[in-house]
């Protein structure tokens, strides 16, 4: 339950003076519905009204505050579309104030002829005449104080002017109740950070351009608060899972050695190191919570298998959860191959299994005949009972939510923590790992199995399409299978889809029947059917929007063509390129760019040419773009940060993490005075999911 002191922060913006339903709806588009959303809506620039030149010295497009004498009014006649003009002057020149659709009585009352006024706004030149349209301020000389010398400039939205936005946010800031300090005094001293309320005031009342930069101390303080809230929440969850009694699993090496003997290759150094980490986790009395991060093709499957074998050696069962039917079937095939004719039994269960065959699988699960079960979400449905499930592997973990993890965990013996090994093929930068996966221990498979031929990556202009098609014809006649990817993003979905369909039609004219199309608007069944035809080799060219399943393995596919590569994030390009280069044959990736490339796009495509290492690519991606875009926003699983910038504040993340660990070590239930203040912090940043696990304090 949210502490009372925070109620004003979470009140709706309509409770602010001058904010009606219409303005609130507009504010929601750019910030949010609640006062707190306005507080997190930070200025991007300042507006400086201190300049007050004589009219003859004005530079146009300048923001100025002028002392002028009001002259003649020139109202637009009748229904004319012409604006209402007011002539004004000082000793050195004249200026026109211009109003479109004004309320006449208002103008007359504000600008009485012959009076002196202060007006502030932006000066333009129109037909050689100085003019200012809709001044921001028009006040009598003695009311100069009403014109702020320096004010914030906020990102705007239609229907709310800069001036109104600044006024509303200023009102919102005034509603911010004084909050008790949750940061450590020595940290505040060392960093010279102001208290929370002062920081909030400072960021919304910038005094210079430096104050709106992410490095200003007030912003840094607020960013640290947010990162600390994030780390505390993760650490609370982590301690919660660790608290549950796990099982001590000691490898007997019986099954592991059988399977290792059957392996056609030697494990890489990274695979061995990761296995040691997993073994240690499993041997501990607490439950394992480990994330295995490794590029496509880095060999996660065999690591998962060996871990599951340890569970089997201890007489229990393991399950591996895949996001799609195809992936589950593929895992089943490769795991069956890997276990060979050892004493391990692998089974598979997906939504496709019905009737008798499903019953048989359920029986074998309940009796313990199946040691390792592969499948989709079907494996944790209600009527699925395990003999003794002790370990769950979750492949492509970002495709699942916490609820699915919990459902699967619930299939274990009651009161016993399930060992969880989550896997992801989306490498993310080290610093971000802490903000996303801070509740897990992380192993990195940062070494590829030997013997891979590097993918020949080229960057080409899309207008060389004829050459590209001839090259594709040569490749296809040599037996290659080709992915042809077209971008599809939500903002331009309809156009993008049309472009993909058009490309499919175009290629079909050249290549005939052997061209397929998959896109995100198709039903999963239809998509699967086309994918299966590509896997089987019934089609040579697969035109696809970015829906190509991560992890689907078509070793015969050796050409990846990506249209408008400049529109993709680096990590996305990396994921796509990872679809080829899986067999023994040399593979090619063509990155086609549509328009003239900007500097950033150029730099990105260059990195793609230079490296295939997903970890390096993710670090570069972070440098070139914001964190929100690092993984392609949709599949990122990145928490949303309102203030902290992953590029500029990432040095704070390890600090926040150490802080969080120390805090909870000393005060596990956040019951001390500072602990209570930290609870307020968690609620303030809406990271309160974890608070329910703390003893009420």
CB of 636 to ligand ADP, least distance (A): 19
Q: Which is nearer to ligand ADP, 133 or 334 (CB)?
A: 334
CA distance 605 to 458: 9
CA distance 510 to 515: 9
Nearest residue to Mg ion by CB is: 551
Sign of torsion, CA 264 270 271 272? positive
CB of 391 to ligand ADP, least distance (A): 18
Q: Which is nearer to Mg ion, 417 or 551 (CB)?
A: 551
Q: Which is nearer to ligand ADP, 135 or 294 (CB)?
A: 294
CA distance 588 to 440: 36
Closest CA to 294 of 529, 635, 574: 574
CA distance 662 to 382: 40
Length, in residues, of the chain? 697
Closest CA to 204 of 260, 258, 148: 148
CA distance 193 to 666: 24
CB of 292 to Mg ion, least distance (A): 10
CA distance 593 to 597: 8
* Three-state secondary-structure class, residue 605: helix
Phi, psi of 50 (to 5 degrees): -75, -20
Q: Which is nearer to ligand ADP, 29 or 272 (CB)?
A: 272
Please work out, in degrees rounded to the nearest 5, the angle formed at the alpha carbon of residue 89 by the alpha carbons of 88 and 92. 160
CB of 346 to ligand ADP, least distance (A): 15
CB of 299 to ligand ADP, least distance (A): 3
CB atoms within 10 A of CB 424: 25
| Partner from ligand ADP, Mg ion, none contacting 569, C-beta within 5 to 8 A by type | none
* Three-state secondary-structure class, residue 93: coil
CB of 425 to ligand ADP, least distance (A): 6
Size of the site for Mg ion (CB under 5 A): 1
CB of 376 to Mg ion, least distance (A): 15
CA distance 622 to 571: 10
CA distance 684 to 253: 50
Q: Which is nearer to ligand ADP, 26 or 298 (CB)?
A: 298
| Partner from Mg ion, ligand ADP, none contacting 296, C-beta within 5 to 8 A by type | ligand ADP
CB of 630 to ligand ADP, least distance (A): 20
Phi, psi of 249 (to 5 degrees): -115, 110
Residue 199: alpha-carbon gap to chain centroid = 26
Q: Which is nearer to ligand ADP, 584 or 697 (CB)?
A: 584
CB atoms within 10 A of CB 344: 22
Q: Which is nearer to ligand ADP, 300 or 687 (CB)?
A: 300
CB of 459 to ligand ADP, least distance (A): 25
Q: Which is nearer to ligand ADP, 94 or 635 (CB)?
A: 635
Query: Binding marks (x or -) toward Mg ion, 493..532, rule CB under 5 A?
Result: ----------------------------------------
CB of 382 to ligand ADP, least distance (A): 30
CB of 551 to Mg ion, least distance (A): 5
Phi, psi of 208 (to 5 degrees): -155, 170
| Partner from ligand ADP, Mg ion, none contacting 376, C-beta within 5 to 8 A by type | none
> What is the helix (H) or strand (E) element at residue 493, kind and residue range?
helix 493-511
CB of 445 to ligand ADP, least distance (A): 7
CB of 333 to Mg ion, least distance (A): 12
Q: Which is nearer to ligand ADP, 229 or 302 (CB)?
A: 302
Residues from 546 through 565 that contact Mg ion (CB under 5 A) = 551
Closest CA to 9 of 34, 32, 43: 34
Phi, psi of 256 (to 5 degrees): -55, -45
Angle between helices 325-339 and 300-313 (to 10 degrees): 70
| Partner from ligand ADP, Mg ion, none contacting 302, C-beta within 5 to 8 A by type | ligand ADP
Q: Which is nearer to ligand ADP, 202 or 426 (CB)?
A: 426
Under 8 Å CB-to-CB from 611, ≥6 apart: which residues?
617
CB of 529 to Mg ion, least distance (A): 22
Closest CA to 476 of 553, 555, 558, 554: 558
Residues making contact with ligand ADP (CB under 6 A): 265-268, 271, 294, 296-302, 425, 449
| Partner from Mg ion, ligand ADP, none contacting 173, C-beta within 5 to 8 A by type | none
Q: Which is nearer to ligand ADP, 7 or 265 (CB)?
A: 265
Q: What radius of gyration do the chain's Cα atoms show? A: 31
What is the three-state SS of 411-442? CECCCCCCEEEEEECCCCCHHHHHHHHCCCEE
Closest CA to 572 of 433, 381, 425, 411: 425
Closest CA to 454 of 267, 617, 294, 612: 612
Q: Which is nearer to ligand ADP, 126 or 265 (CB)?
A: 265
CB of 578 to ligand ADP, least distance (A): 8
| Partner from ligand ADP, Mg ion, none contacting 53, C-beta within 5 to 8 A by type | none
Q: Is 581 left (phi over 0), alpha (psi -120 to 50) or beta?
A: left
Q: Which is nearer to Mg ion, 486 or 535 (CB)?
A: 535
Q: Which is nearer to ligand ADP, 332 or 641 (CB)?
A: 332
* Three-state secondary-structure class, residue 354: coil
Closest CA to 247 of 283, 206, 299, 211: 283
Q: Which is nearer to Mg ion, 102 or 551 (CB)?
A: 551
Which stretches of the chain bind Mg ion, using CB under 5 A? 551
């Amino acid at each position: 339950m949210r502490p009372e002191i925070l109620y004003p922060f979470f009140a709706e913006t309509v409770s602010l003076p001058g904010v009606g339903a219409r303005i609130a709806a507009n504010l929601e588009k750019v910030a949010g519905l609640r006062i707190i959303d306005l507080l997190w809506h930070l200025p991007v620039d300042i507006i400086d009204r201190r300049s007050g030149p004589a009219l003859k010295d004005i530079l146009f497009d300048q923001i100025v505050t002028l002392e002028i004498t009001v002259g003649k009014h020139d109202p637009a006649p009748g229904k004319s579309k012409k604006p209402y003009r007011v002539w004004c002057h000082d000793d050195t020149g004249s200026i026109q104030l211009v109003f479109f659709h004004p309320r006449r009585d208002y103008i007359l009352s504000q600008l009485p002829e012959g009076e002196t006024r202060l007006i502030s706004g932006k000066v333009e030149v129109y037909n050689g005449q100085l003019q200012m349209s809709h001044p921001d301020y028009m006040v009598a000389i003695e009311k100069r104080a009403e014109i702020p010398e320096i004010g914030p400039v906020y990102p705007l939205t239609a229907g709310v002017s800069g001036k109104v936005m600044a006024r509303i946010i200023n009102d919102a800031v005034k509603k911010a109740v004084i909050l008790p300090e949750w940061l450590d005094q020595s940290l505040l001293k060392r960093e010279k950070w102001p208290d929370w309320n002062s920081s909030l005031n400072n960021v919304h009342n910038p005094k210079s351009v430096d104050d709106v930069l992410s490095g200003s101390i007030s912003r840094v303080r607020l960013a640290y608060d947010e990162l600390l809230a994030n780390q505390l929440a993760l650490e609370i969850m982590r301690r919660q899972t660790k608290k549950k009694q796990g099982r001590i699993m000691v490898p007997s090496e019986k099954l592991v050695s059988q399977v290792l003997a059957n392996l056609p290759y030697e494990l890489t150094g990274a695979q061995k190191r990761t296995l040691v980490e997993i073994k240690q986790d499993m041997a501990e009395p607490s439950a394992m919570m480990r994330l295995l991060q490794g590029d496509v093709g880095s060999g996660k499957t065999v690591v998962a298998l060996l871990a599951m074998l340890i569970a089997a050696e201890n007489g229990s069962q393991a399950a591996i959860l895949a996001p799609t039917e195809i992936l589950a079937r593929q895992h089943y095939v490769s795991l069956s191959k890997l276990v060979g004719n050892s004493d391990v039994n692998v089974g598979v269960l997906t939504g496709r299994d019905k009737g008798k065959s499903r019953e048989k699988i359920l029986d074998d699960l309940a009796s313990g005949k199946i040691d390792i079960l592969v499948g989709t979400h079907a494996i944790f449905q209600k009527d699925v009972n395990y003999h003794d499930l002790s370990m769950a592997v979750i492949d492509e973990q970002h495709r699942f939510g916490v609820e699915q993890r919990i459902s699967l965990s619930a299939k274990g013996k009651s009161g016993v923590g399930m060992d969880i090994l989550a896997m992801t093929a989306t490498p993310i930068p080290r610093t971000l790992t802490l903000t996303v996966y801070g509740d897990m221990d992380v192993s990195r498979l940062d070494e590829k199995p030997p013997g891979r031929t590097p993918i020949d990556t080229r960057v080409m202009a899309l207008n060389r399409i004829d050459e590209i098609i001839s090259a594709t014809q040569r490749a296809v006649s040599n037996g290659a299978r080709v992915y042809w990817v077209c971008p599809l993003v939500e903002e331009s979905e309809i156009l993008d889809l049309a472009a993909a369909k058009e490309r499919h039609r175009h290629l079909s004219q050249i290549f005939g029947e052997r061209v397929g199309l998959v896109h995100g608007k198709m039903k999963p069944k239809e998509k699967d059917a086309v994918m299966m035809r590509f896997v089987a080799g019934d089609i040579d060219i697969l035109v696809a929007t970015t829906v190509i399943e991560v992890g689907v393995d078509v070793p015969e596919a050796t050409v990846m063509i990506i249209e408008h590569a400049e529109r993709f994030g680096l990590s996305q390009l990396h994921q796509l390129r990872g679809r080829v280069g899986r067999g023994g044959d040399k593979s090619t990736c063509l990155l086609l760019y549509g328009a003239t490339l900007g500097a950033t796009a150029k730099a990105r495509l260059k990195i793609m040419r230079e490296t295939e290492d997903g970890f390096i690519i993710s670090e570069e991606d972070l440098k070139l773009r914001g964190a929100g875009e690092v993984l392609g926003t949709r599949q990122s699983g990145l928490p949303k940060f309102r203030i902290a910038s992953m590029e500029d504040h990432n040095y704070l993340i390890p600090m926040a993490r150490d802080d969080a660990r120390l805090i909870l070590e000393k005060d596990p239930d956040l019951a001390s005075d500072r602990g209570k203040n930290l609870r307020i912090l968690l609620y303030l940043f809406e990271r309160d999911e974890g608070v329910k696990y703390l003893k009420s304090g």
